Amino acid sequence: MNLAPSGLLFFPITPFHDDSTIDLDGLERHLESGISHSPGGVFVACGAGEFHSLSEGEVQQIAQLTVGVIDGRAPIFLGSGGSIQTAKNISRFAKDVGISGLLVFPPYMVSPSQEGLRRYFYELAEASDLPLIAYNRPGSILNLDLVIDLLQIENLVGIKDGLGEMNFVADMMKTTRNWETQIKSSRAISFMNGTPTAEISALKFRDLGILTYSSAVLSFVPEISVAFYQSLLVNNDEMTTQLLKNFYEPLADLRDEVEGGAISIIKAGNRILGKDYGGVRAPLLDFNGDQMVRLNRIIKSGMELIDS
């Protein structure tokens, strides 16, 4: 597929055994659970999948398994990043195994200049003709000049925003649409909400016409995730507001108690619901007992709302 995915996006976790090796059987079960809810795309070995802790070999294992399990039911995007050489290596085997495209993660723990980011994207694009999605996030912040520059990359199909600065998102969209009109582009760039617990900002993104977002909740309580997304689509703002107040906002508060909690909370939620995919890899931390109790309470509150 040569277009960015749209709709509710599934970002699987990476299950681990007690010795921190990848639990491939667990990953297969997790993928089957997620795809059964018809997501618009599957993004493996990305942030929720602990990309930062995976070796190239592990990313390749995950890619191969995912292509087999999903079997054409949704486009599959693979996290590609770290050092530029690692990103190039990932892009090559991604194409070989049948991955649809790449979500680009320039290196963590560095703060590159705009020119450095431009160089990174262009070098990766030269190494792979797979569709690319740029990610505007801490450590890889794009300005408007760089966005215009990246639009020249023929296989750039989307921009995922992880910052939620709505004025900038609006400016970025306007700049992109003007560019598309001026050059009569047949390639419409897709925009995605990739903020932590994206549902919190979903109404603001909807006001800009953006209804595509990554849902961490889809990876542990998919029933709530799908119900919220449907309420957003049909403008059932009463249900949207109730789920935000009673489920998503308390969930986000709990998430923020733990460094890296956006990942830990997914694995904790699965554990509560009887699907143990192991813990997170160091340096991330798992939820403690009290946090598990409160998470269980939040999940029950959300389920009661959608069942009422």
Domains of the chain: 8-220 (3.20.20.70)
Q: Note the pLDDT of residue 249.
A: 99
Cβ-contact 130, 91 below 8 angstroms:
yes
Given a cut of 70, the residues of the chain with pLDDT beneath it are 1-2, 108-109
pLDDT of residue 111: 78
Predicted local confidence at residue 308, as pLDDT: 84
How far is 256 from 121, CA to CA, in rounded Å?
A: 31
Q: Does residue 83 come out as left (phi exceeding 0), alpha (psi in the -120 to 50 range) or beta?
A: beta
At residue 2, the pLDDT reads 41
Residues in the chain, overall count: 308
Q: Residue by residue, what is the 3-state secondary structure of the chain?
A: CCCCCCCEEECCCCCECCCCCECHHHHHHHHHHHHCCCCCEEEECCCCCCHHHCCHHHHHHHHHHHHHHHCCCCCEEEEEECCHHHHHHHHHHHHHHCCCEEEEECCCCCCCCHHHHHHHHHHHHHHCCCCEEEEEECCECCCHHHHHHHCCCCCEEEEEECCCCHHHHHHHHHHHHHHHHHCCCCCCCEEEECCCCHHHHHHHHHHCCCCCEEECHHHCCHHHHHHHHHHHHCCCHHHHHHHHHHHHHHHHHHHCCCCCHHHHHHHHHHHHCCCCCCCCCCCCCCCCHHHHHHHHHHHHHHHHHHHC
Q: What are the residue numbers of the active site?
A: 135, 160
Provide the pLDDT for residue 287.
97
